[in-house]
Every structure is written in C-alpha cells, then in structure tokens.
C-alpha cells in the first residue's frame, strides 16, 4: 500500500504574519501534530475529529496562555507504520509540542514510545482499548474505554430479563475489551454467553449471523469500530435477524451518530450504553450540535467529534494553566484533574490514570420525525475505566 504522507493543511491562516513578526513581539507558536485516518475505511473518524478540532479553535480562538496554537493535520490512512513514521517526523522536523488524534488502537500504541522518548503529550481522541494509557506516562485520553461503556450494558441486560447472549466483536484490542468486560460481568450475574470475533479488515458477519439466527439468543451484543456499523446492520437484515426477535445490545459504536440515519428501521429499538449521543439533552450539547452542523452541513457530530473537541480544549486549557509553557511534563501535570462540562456531560481527567471519568448513558435508538437518534433514558454517573479502577 502506498502511504500518503502529505501535510494536508495547516489550519490557521495568519501563520505567515505571525512568523514574520507583526510588530515588537511576534507571538510564539505552539504546534500540535494531529494524526488521523482521513482516507480508508476509518475516514469518518478522521473527518469528525478534524471538524471538531476546527470548531473548537474557531470558537475559542488560537491564542491560549499567550501562545498561538497551530494544528498540523496529517493522514495516516489507518496504518500503524504510517502513524509511527508521521509522529517521528512531526517531532523531529516540525518540532510539535503535542501529538493528538489516533483513530484506532494500533495507531495510538505505535506512537506511545515516541511520546515517551520525546516527553511530549499524546492526546488520544478516539482509540479506546483500556490499556492504551498505560503504554506511556505522556498519554492522556479524551475518548472513552470499551470496558467503561460495556460493563453497564451487562447490568442493564441482566436486570431486564436477558439471560442468553451471543457476542460478536471485531478481533482486536477494543473488541476483546468489550467482549471480556461484558461477558465477565454478565456471567457473574448468572447469564450465559457465547462469543465470536471477526477480523478488523474486510469483516464478513454472515457466517456468524447464521449461527445466531439458528440459536436464537435473547440478545446479540455487538462491538464494531465507528464507521463499520452500517455494514453490520445490512448483514443483520439480510439474515432476517431483525424479524427473529433477537435484541441488539452493546456499546454505542455500532449505532454511531455519523451513520445512524443511513441504517433504516432495523436500528430502532437497539439498546446501547455509551458516553455521547447527538441528542444528549443539555444546553452545552445543543450549542455544540448547532455549531457543528452549521460548519459541516449534512453531517451530525458523533462520539469521535466530541473526543476531538474535548481533546483540543484540553490542550488549550493546559497551555493556559502553564502560562504558555509548552514543555511536555508541565502540560501533562496541568491536564491531570482537568474538569469541565463537555457536550457529553461533566468530564474529568483522572489524575491517577490520565483516562477520562464521564457519565455513561443507557440509550434506545428511536425515530424522531424521520431521523434516527439514540435517546438517553438512564445515566450511570461519573464512571472510571473499570479495568484500572480494579487494579
């Protein structure tokens, strides 16, 4: 595969004026290397995060702590070798103070040794395997973890009369996290679980769905990464499972807001647990969705966008807290314990783990007018990543 290494764009105009020095004090620039899958099967994640980062800077300005933030966006196509090389180039050639983005777990893991060695913050805005934050003391996460979202699903399923569950997950870090955290909790409650894993690249759900249609479990628990849900739903309908009375449950990635409307009525009634819905009922979210949709006509923000928006805010607030000192250790210290109201609800960066503490909501996919939305109907407040909380 050929890998595109081009700098796609530097976000903020005015870079030239500042570098040339517009008067007595030219403003110092702090560079953020934003590495995202902008092409390939996970491009929706890249597009969502790019749009949200831009929105944050348009709303809050680029000057924070007296420094001007400049974002350099690069496309890693979702390939970990490309991420690693791009991260290295951003550190060595561009002298970025922060690395950010990371659309998939292998891409975040490939960059961790670079962040550690360069002592610069690596802000994980998307990837969600629990162990990622343990790969470097310079990683801080603004997305979520799969155990954080999946354990509450086990509680909901058991207390709602579900006894037999089949799980299907994508066979890599976040899928394995989703499967094991759900299954352990659900079995401890008394339920039975059968599990199958499908490959990340070119997944074929058909043989597995055939087994499910024969076994008729009470529910099918699904994790597929953001952007892949539509493919899954299509095969779910083709196997007639929408008519077989098998309830669809899981973390919210399968009914991600970016593609939900394209799924049709098959998604209606799915019960998922997650940290963000575009229909989250708060003034902060209403304002966020309105501004995002105004800047990106026809695109609804999903949970990836919120991870990007909060990630950029975390960088800006940390720079403000250090009075513009962009050394990695100072920024990380400032990020620990940071807390505010996000479009998803109240969030805090856990100072002990550098992971995010946030509400997890139980949602039902419903039709609102002619559009599909995940409607939150219960809240589990301020959930920590349970894997690290147990250690």
- As measured in angstroms, the least distance from the Cβ of 241 to ligand PHB is 22
77: region left, alpha or beta (phi > 0 left; psi from -120 to 50 alpha): left
Return the number of the residue (70 or 253) whose C-beta is nearest ligand PHB: 253
- As measured in angstroms, the least distance from the Cβ of 291 to ligand PHB is 23
Q: CA 57, 60, 64, 67: dihedral to nearest 10 degrees?
A: 50
What is the token pair recorded at 51? Answer: 């749009």
Return the number of the residue (39 or 63) whose C-beta is nearest ligand PHB: 39
- As measured in angstroms, the least distance from the Cβ of 259 to ligand PHB is 11
- As measured in angstroms, the least distance from the Cβ of 268 to ligand PHB is 21
Return the number of the residue (27 or 374) whose C-beta is nearest ligand PHB: 374
- As measured in angstroms, the least distance from the Cβ of 289 to ligand PHB is 19
User: ∠ CA(287), CA(290), CA(294), 5° rounding?
Assistant: 140
Q: CA 66, 63, 46, 209: dihedral to nearest 10 degrees?
A: 80
Binding residues (CB under 6 A) for ligand PHB: these are 104-105, 126-129, 174, 225-226, 253
Return the number of the residue (322 or 365) whose C-beta is nearest ligand PHB: 365
Q: What residues contact residue 174 under an 8 Å CB cut-off, 6+ apart?
A: 105, 127, 128, 129, 146, 223, 225
Return the number of the residue (171 or 329) whose C-beta is nearest ligand PHB: 171
Contact of 177 with 145, CB cutoff 8 Å:
yes
Contact of 162 with 187, CB cutoff 8 Å:
no
- As measured in angstroms, the least distance from the Cβ of 126 to ligand PHB is 6
Return the number of the residue (169 or 338) whose C-beta is nearest ligand PHB: 169
Residue nearest to ligand PHB (CB): 225
Q: What residues contact residue 93 under an 8 Å CB cut-off, 6+ apart?
A: none
- As measured in angstroms, the least distance from the Cβ of 41 to ligand PHB is 11
Q: How far is CA 231 from CA 102, 174, 235, in A?
A: 23, 18, 7
Return the number of the residue (70 or 355) whose C-beta is nearest ligand PHB: 355
Residues 105, 92: Cα–Cα separation, whole Å: 23
Q: How far apart are the first and last CA of the chain?
A: 41
């Amino acid at each position: 595969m050929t890998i595109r290494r081009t700098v796609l764009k530097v976000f903020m105009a005015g870079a030239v004026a500042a570098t040339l020095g517009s008067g007595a004090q030219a403003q110092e620039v702090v560079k953020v290397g934003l590495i995202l899958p902008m092409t390939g099967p996970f491009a929706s994640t890249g597009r969502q995060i790019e749009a949200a980062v831009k929105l944050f800077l348009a709303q809050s300005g680029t000057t924070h702590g007296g420094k001007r933030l400049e974002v350099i966006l690069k496309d890693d196509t979702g390939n970990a070798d490309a991420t690693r090389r791009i991260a290295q180039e951003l550190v060595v050639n561009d002298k970025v103070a922060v690395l950010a983005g990371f659309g998939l777990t292998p891409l975040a893991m490939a960059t961790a040794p670079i962040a550690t060695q360069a002592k610069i913050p690596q802000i994980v805005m998307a990837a969600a395997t629990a162990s990622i934050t343990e790969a470097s003391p310079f990683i801080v996460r603004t997305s979520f973890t799969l155990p954080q979202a999946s354990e509450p699903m086990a509680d909901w399923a058991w207390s709602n009369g579900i006894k037999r569950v089949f799980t299907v997950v994508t066979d890599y870090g976040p899928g394995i996290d989703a499967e094991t955290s759900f299954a352990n909790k659900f079995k401890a409650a008394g339920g039975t679980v059968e599990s199958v894993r499908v490959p990340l690249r070119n997944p074929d759900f058909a043989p597995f769905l055939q087994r499910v249609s024969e076994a008729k479990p009470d529910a099918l628990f699904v994790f597929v990464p953001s952007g892949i849900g539509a493919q899954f739903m299509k095969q779910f309908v083709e196997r007639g499972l929408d008519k077989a009375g098998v309830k669809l449950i899981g973390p919210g990635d399968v009914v991600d807001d970016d593609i939900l409307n394209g799924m049709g009525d098959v998604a209606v009634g799915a019960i998922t647990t997650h940290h963000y819905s575009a229909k989250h009922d708060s003034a902060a979210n209403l304002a966020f969705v309105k501004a995002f949709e105004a800047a990106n006509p026809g695109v609804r923000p999903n949970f990836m966008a919120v991870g990007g928006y909060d990630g950029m805010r975390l960088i800006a607030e940390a720079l403000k807290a250090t009075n513009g000192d962009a050394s990695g250790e100072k920024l990380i210290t400032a990020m620990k314990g940071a807390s505010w109201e996000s479009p998803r609800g109240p969030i805090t960066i856990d100072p002990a783990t550098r992971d995010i503490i946030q509400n997890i909501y139980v949602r039902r996919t419903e039709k609102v007018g002619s559009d599909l939305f995940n409607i939150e109907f219960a809240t589990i407040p301020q959930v920590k990543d349970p894997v690290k909380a147990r250690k």
